[in-house]
Chains A and B, each alone.
Chain A
Amino acid sequence: MLLLTLPLAAALASLRVPLWGARAITVASGAASFALALALVPTAAHRDVACLRFLRVDAVSAVFLLATGFLYAVVAVYSVGYLSGGHGRPPRYERRVWAGLNLFVWAMLAAPMMSNLALLWVAIEVTTVISALLVAVEDTDGAAEAAWKYVLLASGGLCLALLAVIFAYYAGAQVLGQSYDLGFTQLLHAAPRLPHTAVELAFVLAVLGFGTKMGLVPVHTWLPDAHSEAPTPVSALLSGSLLAVSFYAILRFYQVTQAAVGPAFPRNVLLVFGVASLLLAMLYLFGQRDLKRLLAYSSVEHMGILAIGVGFGAPAALAGVLLHVLAHAAAKGNAFLGAGVFVRKLGTKRISAIRGGLDLLPWSGPLFLVAIFALGAMPPFGLFRSEFEIVAGGLGSGGYAAAAILVVAVTVAFLGLASSVTRMLMLPGTPPGDGAPDRVPSLVAGSADQARAATAVASRPARAVARGEPSGWMVLPVVIGALALLVLGVHPPAELTELFGRAVALLRGTAS
């Protein structure tokens, strides 16, 4: 258990070393964290692990640790390619990003391991402040604006979540006496005797508060800004992992509320928020001009799907939700990392300025297409399996209207996503030389050397870019992510299925 936090603390401390050292340490600690999270799976599938009174891992938290660990490893490798070379930034920038990245992941790994609702809240608030700094590190007007909106909205939301924690304490104290410490297991044991009003109040506040961080619709407004303005590795972590961790907090409140007042109330609350998120995000996916904002709204959509899945409450739907957390982490990570390659290559986030992607990027182009298809829940990938399970669970438990909305909205969202992305990838850029000579007169079309020289010009025209990948470091992680998606979709390992089985039992309150 402790092993999981140690490499991260070590990584932090070692960020005083030279930059290459920081790179090596981060990659190593990313790989180690993922390995540790994997090693945890068989244990957590059978029993809960507790340690030091404040740490506790059960099957539910193991799923979230796995998602974060995976993204950590992937993003660490990617960042080596993304940050190297400097691109006109001072070395201070790279060091800050490395330090922030490690700290951010540390907080996100810590959150699902907390045995205590209050410490869970603290960990999530820590992720907010660190990630706000990571958004601001980009040092542009847009980043400053996004960071300010993010920190203000998320902190305000988390104040509501704190209120939820306090009411949960109040409810627990009625049964367990004044001196209990919000321990989650205690609270769950006492749940049937808790006063209903206080628990319901706490749940609604928690959904609203943590939902702000998760990007549920009425309170999602910070999300597209922060995701689009942050450095790409940070966007991937924000979207794949941070949102999931906030969802984890909601799941914990869901468990308590379900045990205290029955399943109908929390499910209905989540269904309402989920459907709203899904519908609004679906509309925003059309006519989006900025590539990273497009992906950000796709995150809102997927968070809506998660909320709806829990709202259905059937075992199949819950298993689907947990698989969805993992698959979404891999797919959205891939999509953001792929988009980062495009942005690096062409120097713009505008969708209309990116053309001929398949020609320019022999690896990242197709991989990005794969990531988008995976996000749209196309069959061979993990998200297809998870969404299928959620819909099946929804139909099985009588949520016909919501299931129908889910199917339609997911399809429409896929159309929105795919139409923009295929235009980026498939439409031919005008042949090299057409647009280039008038903007960079010295450039002779077709000459590879000079084309490469042109990429060094800051205001280069997009079409004078030569075919080729910016960095192998930025391709490898995306390949790994695509493989993971394939495994999750085609044949999830037996241990994982067991883990999901146990987690579903915990979430339904039927575990022994």
Chain B
Amino acid sequence: MSQLLAATVAAPSALSGGANVIAVGVLLAEFGMFRQALLRDQVRLYIAQSVLISALAVVVAATRHLPDLYALAALSFALKVVVVPFVLRRLLRGIGAIGGDPRWSTGDTDIAGSHTLGVASTVLLAIGVAAFGFFTVAALGIRSPVLPVTALSVSVAVILVAFVLMIVRRDVISQAIGFLSLENGVSLTALVVAAGLPLILEIAFLFDLLVAVAVFGLLIRVHHGRAESMSTADLTSLRG
């Protein structure tokens, strides 16, 4: 990635190299979610992704002297690495999808079979979509004051891949995590092109995420209570 950068920018600094590495890490975590058959691991990947993004926020704050971003990094760390995974895990345990009682281990197999396509074709599709996003954004000619524009391309790729994840998975938890990682991709974009966004607005966004997670959780419970499974395969009665 840094070679690619060297071709476009005269002198790639340690910062831009590092930023790109982090952005690519986020994208890899997104791809990892396709592979995961266990809910638990998917939540772990989400945590890893969120940690990377908070780290990037700290890096930007330190190098560009934007003290607001420290607060943002701390907040997003607290929310996305601690609170949201906690809520998700509780939810999963509450309905028996992970851990605890072995009788309920079906929750784990449930999601393994929730691909509408095979893993290989899904990943191929995602690579295609990600490449599309990557090169389209590069062609737009948007320049960022704080981070190399490659990071923007990668973040758009993350967003598109998150959509693929939401589309091909047929269970509510994967879809919810797809949405959350979609939001991570948007956060990454925000870091690249809108690092100076006032703190109060960022807090509003994060608060909003929290509310959304609570509602997602509630609806997952409702769904599980009615359908006795995590699968969305039987959500087909409303059409036309």
List the interface of chain A (C-beta within 8 A of B). Answer: 116, 118-119, 122, 125-126, 128-129, 132-133, 136, 139, 141-142, 144-149, 151-152, 155-156, 159, 162-163, 166-167, 169-170, 173, 178-179, 181-182, 197-198, 201, 224-225, 228-229, 284, 288-290, 293
Contact = CB atoms under 8 A, between A and B. Distances in A.
B196 A201 contact: no
Given A126-B208, A159-B186, A148 B201 contact: no
B187 to A, nearest CB: 9
B218 A133 contact: yes
B182 A144 contact: no
A156 B186 CA distance: 11
Contacts of A224: 238, 240
Given A141-B237, A155-B212, 7 more contacts: A129-B214, A132-B215, A136-B222, A144-B219, A148-B172, A166-B189, A170-B194
Nearest to B163: A156
Given A132-B215, A166-B186, A118 B166 contact: no
B144 to A, nearest CB: 8
B contact residues, range: 35 or more
B194 A152 contact: no
9 contacts: A129-B215, A133-B215, A141-B226, A144-B223, A156-B179, A169-B194, A198-B142, A224-B240, A293-B240
B120 interface: no
Contacts of B183: 159
Contact of B204 (A122, A148, A179, A198): A122
B201 A145 contact: no
B80 to A, nearest CB: 15
B238 A173 contact: no
A181 B201 contact: yes
A179 B226 contact: no
Given A144-B222, A170-B142, A163 B189 contact: yes
Contacts of A179: 196, 198
Contacts of B142: 170, 197-198, 201
Contacts of A228: 238
Contact of A159 (B141, B159, B200): B159
A422 B194 CA distance: 55
* A interface secondary structure, majority: helix
Contacts of B208: 122, 125-126
Ordered nearest first, which 4 A-B pairs have the shortest CB separation?
A178-B196, A170-B193, A118-B201, A129-B215
Contacts of B211: 125-126, 129
Interface of B: 140-142, 144-145, 159, 163, 166, 172, 175-176, 179, 182-183, 186, 189-190, 193-198, 200-201, 204-205, 207-208, 211-212, 214-216, 218-219, 222-223, 226-227, 232, 235, 237-238, 240
A224 B207 CA distance: 29
A146 B216 CA distance: 13
Nearest to B145: A178
A228 B198 CA distance: 40
A122 B195 CA distance: 19
Contacts of A284: 240
Contacts of B240: 224, 284, 288-290, 293
B196 A173 contact: yes
Contact of A145 (B196, B197, B205, B238): B238
B201 A167 contact: no
A148 to B, nearest CB: 5
A178 B193 CA distance: 10
A125 B212 contact: yes
B238 A146 contact: yes
Contacts of B190: 166
A170 to B, nearest CB: 4
Contacts of A151: 212, 215-216, 219
A145 B235 contact: yes
A156 B179 CA distance: 7
A136 B186 contact: no
A151 B193 CA distance: 27
Contacts of A159: 159, 179, 182-183, 186
Contacts of A122: 204-205, 207-208
